[in-house]
Structure 1
């Protein structure tokens, strides 16, 4: 039996990259998948929309619901989560994948960009989790999973891009708080972060360029780790900031070469916030 059969998963930022990979991985495990993102029509540079991912889910034999969502709009968030839960008869899992990045310090960063990162990273975790809570309370295997790093307070992680760092750490701190706050409801709340660079459009266009792509892994490794977390029936992982490779190793995976974005002998780059 597939590990997520009869479960409904709501994924933000699911039209491409890691969100898309998680959507497809959940579908392979039998989940009903809500693909929520702003990408309703094709982008000139970036492939994928909520509709193309929904088609991919259906090709795998899964049920998909594509929904246009701007996670900055709390009224829209609540409406979309309620719509999804009513469509599928409930909601079991929320994956806070939507993210915004700009690796600049305080001196050069525009306030509008900082506002965007705060709204799409930290604030969206709060808004989406709050909206999903009434439905998650009704689930027998409820999870909130946010893509954010373990807290590493070494000054080097703040020196060049403190604004981004603070918004990502805020997501993890919300994870810690919600894990305790929602424990009585049987809801598991975790964070997940990649051990190495993940080769996505965010890396290509915002954080280093195409030359770094060959030193990263495919989004599939994050997707497989996410499924492992969501398939955990108890709250044994709740409150933890987990690393993708560690999750998979704990599940018995020992071979990781197939996750490389490009085969070769270039060393994989560790992701941000990991020593």
Structure 2
């Protein structure tokens, strides 16, 4: 089992893409730290750190649920330390937790701006900072941020400047760390879906049922992450990965099984991806 005894710290792992990655790695023997805010279930979102932990253990992994708001850097530091003590180290950090708001500049309230930047940028930065001392001790350490390639076309800034800034900053964190941490053989990469993914955010905030029907399941991102995280950390670093391209590079060309609606072939490109 490729990830036997490997400890993976995943933010936002109680549902969606984070949980899909957790279950994929758990099936390969990984220890999963479920770091999310949800301890009581919201019917619109589904899932808590406890329900996700139960599914992870049913999939074959070991789970440690930790309630965490990554805007609190002290809490992040404590969560990382607790996870390392519980499992004997940390091998992989996946920064999946994120906030989204697609309003134009004139309509972006300070609280919404702060939420995106406090979670997507500040939270990601200080969680990486807390994890680095433990990742240095791993034999194949990886940081993986769920953020896009930095596409500097003006259209990606024109409609939702604040969100774009925050997600590109997540990607810059990974790119910067790939150079800073190369001497320690710690990989830092990003991963982003080519099409929209059927998650609660898409259903509740972005496009509802129509967009859900044009989306793929979170499993495609999980499978791509599985391929990335088993690569040698001293060689596979500084990349802006796209899920579909990762799978194709490993000979997986039939992606029909990832359609949220079976048989659908009409998918909606995700943000920051040129159609």
Q: TM-score, normalised by structure 2?
A: 0.98
Question: Which position in structure 1 is the counterpart of 2:90?
Answer: 91
Question: Which position in structure 1 is the counterpart of 2:150?
Answer: 151
Structure 1 residue runs without a partner (length 5+): none
The answer on whether the counterparts of 1:148 and 1:169 sit within 8 Å (CA) in structure 2 is yes
Question: Which position in structure 1 is the counterpart of 2:46?
Answer: 47
CA-based RMSD of the aligned residues comes to 0.9
Larger mean CA deviation between 256-265 and 70-79 belongs to 256-265
Question: Which position in structure 1 is the counterpart of 2:68?
Answer: 69
Question: Which position in structure 1 is the counterpart of 2:236?
Answer: 237
Distance in 1, Cα, partners of 2:190 & 2:43? 32
Distance in 2, Cα, partners of 1:251 & 1:85? 32
Structure 2 residue runs without a partner (length 5+): none
Q: Structure 1 segments of 4 or more deviating over 4 A?
A: none
The answer on whether the counterparts of 1:214 and 1:266 sit within 8 Å (CA) in structure 2 is no
Deviation at 1:205, TM superposition (A): 1.1
Deviation at 1:35, TM superposition (A): 0.5
Question: Which position in structure 2 is the counterpart of 1:190?
Answer: 189
Larger mean CA deviation between 52-61 and 264-273 belongs to 264-273
SS class of match (1:165): helix
Q: How does 1:84-163 map to 2 (within 5 A)?
A: 84-163=83-162
Question: Which position in structure 2 is the counterpart of 1:178?
Answer: 177
Deviation at 1:233, TM superposition (A): 2.4
Spell out, residue by residue over 1:142-174, the C-alpha distance to the aligned partner (whole angstroms, 9 max, x if none): 000000000111111111101100000001111
The answer on whether the counterparts of 1:15 and 1:50 sit within 8 Å (CA) in structure 2 is yes
Q: 1:265 to 1:15 in 2, by over 3 A?
A: closer
Deviation at 1:266, TM superposition (A): 5.3
Larger mean CA deviation between 59-68 and 73-82 belongs to 59-68
What is the total number of aligned residue pairs between the two structures? 274
Distance in 2, Cα, partners of 1:195 & 1:272? 8
Deviation at 1:265, TM superposition (A): 4.0
The answer on whether the counterparts of 2:259 and 2:265 sit within 8 Å (CA) in structure 1 is no
SS class of match (1:177): helix
Matched, 1:202 2:184: no
SS class of match (1:57): helix
Larger mean CA deviation between 79-88 and 236-245 belongs to 236-245
